[in-house]
Structure 1
Amino acid sequence: MKPETPAQTLDRKLHVLAAPFTASLSPVSLALAWADWAWHLAGSPGRQIELAGRAAELGVQTLSCALGQGSCELPAGATDDDPRFRAAEWAQWPFNLLRQGFRQQEQFWHEAASLPGMSPHHVQMARFFARQWLGMLTPANGLLTNPVVLKDALSSGGAHLLQGAQHWLQDLSGAHEPAPQGAFQVGRDVAVTPGQVVMRNHLVELLRYAPQTPQVHPEPVLIVPSWIMKYYILDLSPHNSMVRWLVGQGHTVYMLSWRNPGAEDAGLSMDDYLEQGVFEPLRWLGQHHRAGVHLAGYCLGGTLAAIAAAAATRGLGGALPSLASLTLFAAQTDFSEPGELGLFIDESQVGFLDSLTREQGYLSGEQMAGSFQFLHSRELVWTRRMREYLMGEREQPSDLMAWNADTTRLPARMHHQYLTALYLRNALAIGRYRVQGQPISLSDLRLPLFLVGTERDHISPWPSVYKLHHLCEADATFVLAAGGHNAGIVSEPGHAHRHYRIAHRAPGAAWVAAEAWPAQAELKEGSWWPAWQAWLQARSGKPHRARALPASKLGPAPGEYVLQA
């Protein structure tokens, strides 16, 4: 990094002081969105009249509901995906009126946030933060306005309210430690699939898992998890571990475990993450396996895997083994429509985050958590607080919650590069992403692709994941799974209420738009994991006798890096 001038140092210090009060969001970015909306509204008297008429119309509908002269339900054919209002008690008066009024407010602000002349980014921000404000004011958050809470308070004789008050005092004083911190320990409860650390460099450990079948396929599977979180999202408890399940199907599985960087790693770049995190492990695999490698990646790890596969077609990365296939779990390669996470990424926001990372040398997990809580505020903030403070229910710990609380850090330079190159410039999708100074193109991909998107993904929206179809002509199988960014991927066989859609596109076949894809895809019940395993098996060689995995000088899985705080 270039040395700072005194003026730049002053600005950075100011940004660092402001960050705790803005959830690490740029106040300038937020102010620009508000100003864009306010000035366009002030200069559009016709739109003001139109919105006033719309508010009156929605108000009349709510009044009709109150007087029993109109329906208090959603229009025919509409669905309510808001879990706060699913209880049958919300259909009774006067709570149906409160629910109807709240829905009308949501509808009004969705329309009012969009004004002619506003930038699309500011429209999205205005709508998003209007939902955040309304989410705080919803009748579901009140004792006297939530029939479920009232019923619980009466049936418990107020005991649950008293318990909730105690929870509130504990949280206010900091006396309560969230249960997941200690309920699930890495190596004891999660990340327990037997294996060995077979390679280690400054950035990753390469874990190899012990075979669990008499025979294994010759092609190993290398999984690249996202560097934003610990790897064991894919090796949670034994019953829902993707790694354990895959090994049990006769595959030799390798997993990358990212080191948790510190201030001394501030200068690590995206090229460093690619070289040390993917290329070097691939070269190790090439020295120890004769067959090709099934490369797979999750979230940003999938993006990095796609970059590696495209770079390999240009001869970058050295003596790499051949790739038998590429699998991407909830991983974007085109960031032109990144979903709600893109709301927090613009030039002002990146500049603000650069101030924080330059001060520390990294972006901490706690600083990232603010943005993710905004994305899921309805579930992660308000619904949880309502149950804890009004109904006296502490959320029960789970392995997924424990993993989510096990945060990591991002080096300053790498963090700036991936936000700028991928989110702001969309360089990978337009053939301008550079590896070792040379541009690469996803259009060079010719190996078989297996892509997984999830229906309720706010981080990697499935239409964005699907866009790789448009960027290359490779043989591609796409799966759209039930669930969100995490639960849709951790979808083990036997998990209740799971389904997925799947369709195959042959090389050179006609382009199918994302909105038309679900109608022509096959709907199947259950987990998508067996479909992926069958796809891998069809692209793997004849199984051979498995060999016991000897002890490694580097130690057993889960290794050392995953334990770094």
Structure 2
Amino acid sequence: MDNQGDKSTKIPSLDHYVVKDPEAFARNVAHMIEQAGKAASAWVEPREKGLKRDTLADPVTDIVKTLSKVSEYWLSEPSRALEAQTKLFSSYMAIWSNSIRRISGEEVEDIAAPEKGDKRFTDEDWGRNAFFDFLKQAYLVTARWAGDLVENAEGLDDHTRHKASFYVKQITTAASPSNFLLTNPELYKETVASNGENLVRGMKMLAEDIVAGGGDLRLRQSDLTKFALGENVATTPGKVIARSDVAEIIQYEPTTKDVLKRPLLICPPWINKFYILDLNPEKSFIKWAIDHGHSVFVISWVNPDQRHAHKDWTAYINEGLRFGLDAVEAATGERAVNAIGYCVGGTLLSAALALFAKEGEDRIKSATLFTTQVDFTHAGDLKVFVDEDQIRALENAMSAEGYLDGTRMATAFNMLRSGDLVWPYVVNNYMRGRDPVPFDLLYWNADATRMSAANHSYYLRNCYLDNNLVKGMMKLAGESLSLADVKIPIYNLAAKEDHIAPALSVFTGCQYFGGDITYVLSGSGHIAGVVNPPAKNKYQFWTGDTPVGSFESWLEKSVEHPGSWWNHWHAWIEKQDNTRVAPHIPGENNVQVLADAPGTYVRIRV
């Protein structure tokens, strides 16, 4: 069944929309109201006790201010406003006319149809039932009209236009008739069929999720009860061999008779937990690397609290990366190391490499960057949340506790793809009353981490706001950093559909490094483009010339390869140094073992 639904002229039966047991339905409505009251109490109670402070005013103020600038353009000239209104009204009239003609038996084309891949309107009654078909088309026309208002408004600076486009998309996605009981035929029919039992279950889940969020909604995207760290996620055997205030260093057990002489140190993002690279044995990049002869060490960042309020990037470099290099050397006796940085972990690694070059620290001999930005000119939709006013408001909010609550960042990431990561779960959980299915990736996604105030403020200001790293204006440990000082070879992986670190943004960052850069483009997005084991034979990757000139030109001349880029990366690593030595066992060389992998820091929940 496609998104158009059945356009048969036969009048559809209304039997599925009629309540069969009014008494049972009324009883369930009463139970639903009772559960809704519990949800309201769960929201109110922590606020009455002073345990929760709302900061909704700041984003709402920014939305109003931004969209007001768009409306100023259209309302400043009456004829312009009339033209826009007339265009929308004429579309409504055309949809209405088509509805009348269809009822009379004519075959007519839709005025508006969902885009390919839009799963919101798959129920047959979206096309067969004239009422729901009208709602669908009117919504699609209105959403596109609103987007065009932003696109065609003159006099907006790029940042304001970007924000306005993002906010309009969020509003129109939220306003979709598929999100509401009375305007979604599938929800309506399910409610009638169950006499409203789905709504009772949904309100009960809503109350539970507000309680779990401590007064805020913690939207469940997976059945979290089906996963446990060290049991069915993050299961690769290893030991914690070092611990600082901000990081644990995990050394994994070898599985091969010999290993590459250069150990591999992985610096993951602290915005999420490291086990995205070790979800399960079939998806684990860590296990795959071990099985291919790498001595793998991973930095597991602490989930910070008030004690870490002043831990900035210098602290994360010294107590994370440099601390990790020391631990690797103590465990293996090797000074030369291959390093990997993922997302903001890659940005930190890049800044650290520039600092190390100033200091003469040369233990990292090659660097691999997974979906990493160093130039934030084309940083994507996350830039919507970054300007002076918003950062200052965020800093004020962080000053009270010393950190940014993990749910704030998780919500921001989810809003980048609200049509996939928010509203389908709102409908499924709270209206259909269904538990989400177990999914390890979404379990990881829900395992949010806090950000220390100093760290997060430094990141937002120096990267997203001022783009200081590529300007040579970033300062760490008293040094002004230049990526041109980084002479080691770099494998720079981007993902074609990445909405967090866009492929163009990663590409433009290549030009600032001082050494040889291998730019590789993976299929899919920020996660699936990285976590793509060869055995799955999914997606593809592109290789090409040195990443100079335009991204479009590079892509046009690139060569597409089927499947995963992992083997290509491993071959690149072996070209740097393929010397093999006996494997290193965690705990040898008088190194103290502190805990089993995945460690203790990763278990600290928000």
TM-score (ref. length: structure 2): 0.81
What secondary structure does 2:544 align onto?
Answer: strand
Distance 1:170 1:458 in 2: 30
Higher mean Cα deviation, 189-198 or 366-375? 366-375
Match of 2:458 among 408, 412, 417: 417
User: Which segments of 5 or more consecutive residues in structure 2 lack a partner in the other structure?
Assistant: 1-49, 213-219
The verdict on how the C-alpha distance between 1:479 and 1:146 changes in structure 2, with shifts beyond 3 A counting, is: farther
Higher mean Cα deviation, 228-237 or 299-308? 228-237
Match of 2:171 among 133, 146, 168: 133
1:403-552 residue pairs with structure 2 within 5 A?
403-472=444-513, 474-495=515-536, 498-506=538-546, 511-550=548-587, 552=592
Deviations 1:355-401 (A, max 9, x none): 11111111110232332232222122211122234444321122222
1:432, distance to aligned residue in structure 2 (A): 1.0
Tell me the percent identity.
Answer: 29
Q: Say yes or no: does 1:82 pair with 2:118.
A: yes
Distance 2:58 2:293 in 1: 46
1:63, distance to aligned residue in structure 2 (A): 4.7
Distance 1:493 1:92 in 2: 44
- Structure 1 vs Structure 2 CA RMSD: 2.9
Residue aligning to 2:598: 558
1:301, distance to aligned residue in structure 2 (A): 0.4
Which residue type is aligned with residue 362 of structure 1? Answer: Y
Match of 1:239 among 270, 276, 282: 282
Aligned length: 537
What secondary structure does 1:429 align onto?
Answer: helix
What secondary structure does 1:255 align onto?
Answer: strand
The verdict on how the C-alpha distance between 1:50 and 1:474 changes in structure 2, with shifts beyond 3 A counting, is: farther
Match of 1:184 among 224, 227, 231: 227
Which residue type is aligned with residue 295 of structure 2? Answer: T
Residue aligning to 2:355: 311
Distance 1:160 1:305 in 2: 57
What secondary structure does 1:84 align onto?
Answer: coil
1:280, distance to aligned residue in structure 2 (A): 2.5
Distance 2:60 2:182 in 1: 35
Which ranges of 4 or more aligned residues in structure 1 deviate by more than 6 Å?
Answer: none
Match of 2:67 among 24, 34, 37: 34
Residue aligning to 1:10: none
What secondary structure does 1:559 align onto?
Answer: coil
Deviations 1:261-299 (A, max 9, x none): 211221112111122111232244345443632111111
Residue aligning to 1:396: 437
User: Which segments of 5 or more consecutive residues in structure 1 lack a partner in the other structure?
Assistant: 1-15
Which residue type is aligned with residue 176 of structure 2? Answer: T
Q: Say yes or no: does 1:48 pair with 2:84.
A: no
Residue aligning to 1:285: 328
- In the alignment, is the contact (CA less than 8 A) between 2:391 and 2:460 conserved in 1? yes
Which residue type is aligned with residue 54 of structure 2? Answer: P
Q: Say yes or no: does 1:169 pair with 2:169.
A: no
The verdict on how the C-alpha distance between 1:216 and 1:93 changes in structure 2, with shifts beyond 3 A counting, is: same
Deviations 1:332-370 (A, max 9, x none): 111122211111111111111111111111111023233
The verdict on how the C-alpha distance between 1:474 and 1:80 changes in structure 2, with shifts beyond 3 A counting, is: farther
The verdict on how the C-alpha distance between 1:167 and 1:28 changes in structure 2, with shifts beyond 3 A counting, is: closer
Distance 1:512 1:84 in 2: 40
Higher mean Cα deviation, 181-190 or 25-34? 25-34
Q: Say yes or no: does 1:262 pair with 2:300.
A: no
Residue aligning to 1:357: 398
- In the alignment, is the contact (CA less than 8 A) between 1:365 and 1:408 conserved in 2? yes
Residue aligning to 2:46: none
1:485, distance to aligned residue in structure 2 (A): 2.1
Deviations 1:244-274 (A, max 9, x none): 1111111111100111221122111211112
- In the alignment, is the contact (CA less than 8 A) between 1:298 and 1:330 conserved in 2? yes
What secondary structure does 2:421 align onto?
Answer: helix
Match of 2:426 among 374, 377, 385: 385
Distance 1:428 1:454 in 2: 22
Q: Say yes or no: does 1:215 pair with 2:258.
A: yes
What secondary structure does 1:487 align onto?
Answer: coil
Distance 1:513 1:83 in 2: 35
What secondary structure does 1:523 align onto?
Answer: strand
Residue aligning to 1:194: 237
1:325, distance to aligned residue in structure 2 (A): 1.8
1:11-26 residue pairs with structure 2 within 5 A?
20=54, 22=56, 25-26=58-59
Distance 1:58 1:516 in 2: 40
1:117, distance to aligned residue in structure 2 (A): 1.5
Distance 1:47 1:495 in 2: 54
